[in-house]
Structure 1
Amino acid sequence: MRQFIYGQYVIMIAVFGIVAWRGGEVGIFEDSNFRSAIGTTIVVAIFVVMINLLVANYVGYYLARATGRKLAFLDVCLQLPLIVPLIVIAAGLDIWFIRLDLTETVLGVVLIQLLPTLPYSIRIARNAYLALDQDINQYVYLMGGTRLRLALDVYLPLMRPMNETILLFSVVISIGQYAITSMIGGGIIQTVALILFPYFTSSQLQIVAAAALFTIFMAFVMLFIFRWCYKGIVKLVGVMG
C-alpha cells in the first residue's frame, strides 16, 4: 500500500513537472516579487506549524483525559470553526485585528491561518493520545519518573507520526490560503497563493502545475527537516537520560 502511494506521488510530480517545463513557466520563479512571496510564505508556514504543534499537543493531551460536561463544552467549541463558514469568522475577527493593529502584518496572517488548521490539529492530537494506554502515566510515576521524563521519554517518540501529520496538514493549508490571507494581509503581505490565484481562474495550466510543484516541494522539504530534527532530539534525550 505504501509503495502504491509513493508511486502515485512520483507520477503526479512527473506530470506537473513536464507540464510546467514544456510551458516555460518555471521562469516564474525568477520574478523578484514571486521570490519575495516565497520567503513570506515560508515564514508564515513555519510559525503556523510551530503554533499548531505546541497547542495541539497540549490541548489534545488534556482533552484525551477530560470527562463530563467540561469535555462536551470544549468539544463544541472546537467544532464551531468547522461548522461556521471560515470567511464569516474571518470577517468578524477583521474588526478586532484592525483595533489591535494586526492587519497588514505577518503576525496577523499567522493568527488568522490558525482558524482552518488548529481545530483539526487538536482533533488529530486528541485521537492520537486516546489511542494510547490511559494508565501509561501511572506506570511511569510508579517507576520514579517525572512529568518531564514522561513527556521526553514516552510521548516524544510515540507522537512522532501524529506530529508529522499535523505538520503536513498545516503546511498545505497555510500555503493554499487565499481569501483570509488577502483579507487580513490587505494585499501588503504577499504570499504565493495571492500571486498565483489569478492564474488558477485562467487556462494557464503551466502556472498551476508550477504552483503545485512548489507546494509539494515545500511540504516535503519541511517534513524531511522536521523528521531529521525530531530524530535528533529523541536520540539526544535518550543519551542524556
Structure 2
Amino acid sequence: MSRPLRWVDAWVWLVYGFMYLPIAVILIFSFNDSEMIAFPLRGFTTHWYQAIFADTRLTSALGLTFLVSLPVALASTLLGAMAALALTRYRLRFRVAFLVMLFVPFLIPKVILAVAQLILLSELGIERSLWTVIAAQTIIILPFTVLVIASVLIRIDRRLEEAAADLGASGVSIFRRVTLPLMKNGLLAAYFIAFVLSSSEYVLTSFVSGRSQPLSILVASDFRFNISPTLDALALLIVLANLLLIGLGEFARLKARR
C-alpha cells in the first residue's frame, strides 16, 4: 500500500473514532454504579436500564414518539414514492418549480421553517397537537424519501416496463408487476430513514407539539436540568434500536435479491 493511501486510511479511522467515541463513553457510563457522570468508575450496574422502564414519563414519551414516527414514515414514504415516480417517469410541465417546492426544506433552516409553521397554525386557528407534529415532520422528511426512492427508480431498466406494455399490460399492471417489485427495496429504505429522522427530530417538534412531549423533547428538557445516567442508558437503547432497523432493512434487501 502506498504512503498516500495509508494516510487516507488513517484519516478515515480518525473520523470514525471521532464519531463513535461519544457512543462508547455513553455505553461506559450507562453501566456505571454512580449518579455522577465522571471518572473514576464506581462499579457495574444495570440499575439505569431498569429505571427507564420504571419511569412512566419516559415510557409515555416513547409511546408518543412511535405514534408520531410510524405515520410520518408511512406518509413521507408514500408521498415520496409518488413524487419520485412523477420526476422519473413523466414529463412535468413545471418540473423546476416542482423540484424547488419539494426541496425547500433543504434550503431553509429548521428554526425559520418551524417559526413559519407555528405562525401559520396560529393564523389558521389550529391547535398544536400530535397531528401538527406529524404534518410538520412529513414536510421536512419528504425530500429525503424522494431522493432515496428516485435513486432506485433511475437505475431500473425502462425496457422492462416497455416490454410489459408491448405484451399488452395496462399501466396499473406494469406498475404492480414490474415497477413496484423493483422499487420495493427503495421504499423499505426510505421508510426506515424517515422513521429514524422523525424519532430524532427536535427543533421542529418543539415548536409545533404543544403540550405533547415526544421522547426527543423530553430528553432535551431533562438534559438542561439534570444529566443522569438514565439518559445515557436511554440514548444507548435508541442507538441500538436504530441499528436494529438498519439490520432489518439490510436483511429484507438481501432476502429480496435471493
Q: TM-score range by the shorter chain?
A: 0.7 to 0.9
- Counterparts in 2 of 1:87-236, with a 5 A limit? 87-186=111-210, 188-200=211-223, 204=227, 206-219=229-242
Mapped to 2, the partners of 1:146 and 1:43 lie a distance apart of: 38
Structure 1-normalised TM-score?
0.77
> Are 2:89 and 1:79 equivalent residues in the alignment?
no
Structure 2 contact 192–249 (Cα < 8 Å) conserved: no
Runs of 4 or more off by more than 6 Å in structure 1?
11-15, 223-232
Mapped to 1, the partners of 2:58 and 2:104 lie a distance apart of: 35
In 2 relative to 1, CA 71–136 (structure 1 residues): closer, same or farther, beyond 3 Å?
Answer: farther
**Alpha-carbon distance, 1:50 to partner:** 0.5
Task: State how many pairs are aligned.
Answer: 226
Measured against aligned partners, the alpha-carbon deviations of 1:28-79 in whole angstroms (never above 9, x if no partner) come to: 3321111111111001000001101111111101101344762222222223
- The structure 2 residue matched to 1:36, chosen from 50, 54, 60, is 60
Mapped to 2, the partners of 1:216 and 1:163 lie a distance apart of: 22
Structure 2-normalised TM-score?
0.72
What root-mean-square deviation, in Å, do the aligned CA atoms of Structure 1 and Structure 2 show?
Answer: 3.4
Mapped to 1, the partners of 2:250 and 2:217 lie a distance apart of: 29
In 2 relative to 1, CA 227–214 (structure 1 residues): closer, same or farther, beyond 3 Å?
Answer: same
5+ long unaligned stretches in structure 2: 1-16, 34-46
In 2 relative to 1, CA 144–33 (structure 1 residues): closer, same or farther, beyond 3 Å?
Answer: same
Mapped to 2, the partners of 1:100 and 1:120 lie a distance apart of: 28
5+ long unaligned stretches in structure 1: 1-7, 235-241
The letter of the residue matching 1:22 is: N
- Counterparts in 2 of 1:5-84, with a 5 A limit? 16-23=26-33, 24-26=47-49, 27-67=51-91, 70-84=94-108
The letter of the residue matching 1:112 is: A
In 2 relative to 1, CA 155–68 (structure 1 residues): closer, same or farther, beyond 3 Å?
Answer: closer
3-state SS in 1 of match to 2:148 = helix
